[in-house]
Amino acid sequence: MTDGVPGGTLTLADDLSLTRMGYGAMQLAGPGVFGPPRDRGEATRVLREAVELGITHVDTSDFYGPVVVNELIRQALYPYPAGLRIVTKVGARRGPDGSWRPSLDPEDLKTQVRENLEHLALDTLDVVNLRLPETPESEQALAEQFGTLAELRKEGLIRHLGLSAASMDQLDQAQAIAPVVTVQNLYNVAARGDDPLVDRCAAEHIAYAPFFPLGGFSPLQSQVLADVAARLGASAHQVALAWLLQRSPTIVLIPGTSSVAHLRENVAAAGLALPADAIADLDSIGG
């Protein structure tokens, strides 16, 4: 692993430092994040290149594939380099048709943690995010589910805990049970609904990892974004990632790709400094 990856490092605990430019492994699975990769060799090269570029933050889950992505990570990177931190999540299962199904029964959460451990060949998971359902009625109490993960933390199977797709109130609930070091929610230059939570995470030194930082399955498309990118001689994707890094000091990025070339482009974005006029223009996109 090399030092000095653009974007710097965020230290959240004595045993948890993450490069702010991370790598999201979700897209290593097949279409729809289901089944084997189109190109297993390229998937392996992407993971190894991420490490070579100095990235210490890999985001994954056993429900990517399912199992496929965690096994790719193990095959490509085990034994893991010192300093590499793997962040995973639990709270869902996949149907035979590739559907995403919430699975928050405490006993199954324990099983999911153990499956992640097995497929990654780890004794302890660095960070486990509790993935909550993304539905209007999902403002549910999470004490039982988060408490289950907190017990596994006490047992030594998990070092740190986080939340995914969480509200401000759910962060309050979780913090009353155990420390929260990461929040992983939908957020990008065009989807700004989480602005207050981004600011809260910065104030409380919690890592905020935007999923779909580039728009996800509906890629970001904006003339303003394209114009700023043209002015700066960068791609629109690079500008969108750079905006996130400058938006908050505790934002960490986990853009996904199954291409080495795209991975290098993403990492280069972390070294792109946006001038004030560019940020003002980009801020006009959000709603």
Positions marked active-site = 64
Alpha helices in the chain (DSSP H): 40-52, 68-77, 106-120, 143-154, 168-175, 195-203, 223-232, 236-247, 260-269, 276-283
**Neighbouring-strand partners of residue 163:** 130, 183
Integer Cα distance of 35 and 28 in angstroms? 10
Per-residue DSSP letters for 145-210?
HHHHHHHHHHTTSEEEEEEES--HHHHHHHHTTS-EEEEEEE-BTTB-TTHHHHHHHHHTT-EEEE
CB distance 163 to 129 below 8 Å: yes
Integer Cα distance of 243 and 64 in angstroms? 27
**Closest listed residue to residue 172, CA positions, set 146, 208, 138, 135:** 146
